A and B are shown apart, each in its own frame.
Chain A
């Protein structure tokens, strides 16, 4: 029972804290008074009695602390005391408090938001059953060292039937279909998947069932089902006409089902059955393959087994000569492209967090400097150093707490702001959200920032000695640099690293923008048309496209029109081996691989791709005789080095080997994106090789919207059931392809600007405090005739020395760090001298500008200060 009583009393002491403290004070006062009275009674002079009594009594503060100790509530009481005192001193300097909290909040918000993104994209588990067991299989082209090549149908079948490393395996290929439900025909993107695909992922349809092997069936995404059937469960069993036939809806996938996207898989709104046929077995390599590891089998097991099987297959078929198999974890495959840039962003934001923390430390130090006298007095009165440090830490913990709360609130908002900015090709954007793990990270980030700030501030506070007050009051200090000088240098260093990263990505982005794509994008619009199987013959298809072009060519504002199998920046298309039949090929695998595009004469005119040698396509190309081909400069140089290719035959490994005659050489064009250098390209005439799916390209002075309008009208009159899709201005396509670089560059530049601002605040803050402390010294200089400029220079010089130290250290770190950017940069070396020199100049300039504020403050110090005492 006694512990309960004493607990209650302790609680009482805590609750009645002020009262108890007052009582303690009163008691000590009374004691002193009695002591003095007694000494006076003994005949000591009152003044002397008071002095000796005080001396004999000793340090009041320490007795009070020991008194608190004796009550057994010391630790808790101290915390409460410190929190109260901390809050009081934070309230006393609201500007400083707000600045510190905002600085911390900025760091916490930025790092939490970026972590939230990176976590969602890279680290969150995939929404499938046992996603760690899912892998992607690729063919590995050993001669070219390309380990992620799409897969031939026959090889998929051999892997599925002969490998025992996998519990299941499925093939899929992107597919889009035209759906004519209602008035507007629509082109819908989806995928053909082999039977058992959804079972392999471990996601069952929410409604209905999975696809079966041999029926015209379709499974819909939740979004498509809601859009087209209004979420009616009776949709299952209904028929949708597409591909010239009728497909029965057998299932609807659950809401939020996020199908794996890798390779050339885009968004998917429906899934159709993929069937291997004699026809598609002859198509070459085009499949994507997903598999689930057999229980107990590791990724390494699967790799070695597949390597063995790959060797067997290479022996069995000449088309597999020089090919093996690679096995990649699904998660790694999906996030592969985004990983590098997200990790760089994560690292950069980490640096920003450290900067924010050190800045908070500087600001805390500044606020502590104001109360140096107060602390020195407390030390003189017998308070222990531990107590002082504890109090400083409490104050920075309070600031950290405030910063964390504000920062995390801002992070939630920031993630909402960033996600729409994300390039559309970033995988798994749907899984970006702020939840437990992300908030935990934010908390840890805030705690780490707080610890740094607290530790630095606490170390600084230890400098106070009981004599500090006396000394400063008496003579003023002359020697010793400003407090926090090293921190300022460190901050400048961090800012250098961040600015170098930003500078490199900016230069890389500029280089990407400046790349000569080889074609003109101005005023060019592209749209895709896929004719239904109803057209039947190539002649009817050709006639239709001819009629569309004719109608468009007559439109006001349209300069030229053309057709191509796939527009530049429109994704991958056919690529195959090409060779010079006049030369003996050493090995099949040595053949040059060329992109093949089917185009008409109008395509080159519209995209302003010049013919550098020979003739352009005739309009129209003859439909008989040996087919003629236009090749690009790269292919001409590879197949006919030092010779003219004009009039020469070239073998193209297409349609069982096509022998074509080189009619002309056109300029190199970047077909895929701005980064990928042009590779060999062969353009075959559309009139010889008709296709039912084509991109129409239209160039003109009319606005893109007007051009698209005329195109729609032309198509609608000729075939009302034909949808126009992938409608885009070429300019926009190019912009979109740069979206990821732009995103990274934008974020890194923002970080760098923030870092520069933080460094400015740090420098200005530290030197303002320094000037305030050295007012007397400056006053004396002024009194001795120093000019204003000399005083400003005095401060500037000190600031620049510190900044210089920081810049040098930062550059060294930046050289090491910038190598990590290697895979992101384009056209810029990681050790780019322009970036490094530029950043050095920027940092020194910014530091000087920041030091100008304290410099000017110093120059306004009156010489009278020297004459007046304190």
Chain B
């Protein structure tokens, strides 16, 4: 039973930490310059990874689905399948998982290193609230950047799919786009994209928690990075299931 109480204790700590992020996010002073720095770190620096991954994933998905759809005489559905699967699920989930790997480990390691090298104590000694200065902007940056990164992933996936299809069937770009968006409704696009803000909150909060609260010096840096990626990824997948249920409840017509 001790392990169970430890799990509850851990969940409670992470929960309180995340709640503090929300509360401090609405309290002045607002760290706009730090938020700007973190948006560059989280958003701009992840863009290449997101676009290349989306493009490759889009191309591969078309290669896999093409044969099956052609077999059933539904080759015309390839763009629609590509668009719906990317906008509804693949884009948000893969963008979230990629960001958990790239940004989550970075946040965990940087904050843990700052703790180990007394930089967080130094911030406190300068009468600056280290939590508001370091944690809140990082979480907010993840919340803001991930929906935009998801859009880049969606469209990169669509582009990869189009090029793959164009090589096979020489489909015209306008026809591909028309077919792709024929079956897509706004609710297929907006709700799944916005749910990635929750993924961003998970990545930012969990990674910051491991980094900010580490007490193991240099060893803690590696542990914080690893734990950030593992728990963020796990929670994103679990949250995805719950959020999809919520989306189906709020927008029943999206349950294809």
- Same complex origin of A and B: no
Interfacial residues, chain B to chain A (CB-CB below 8 A): none
Interfacial residues, chain A to chain B (CB-CB below 8 A): none
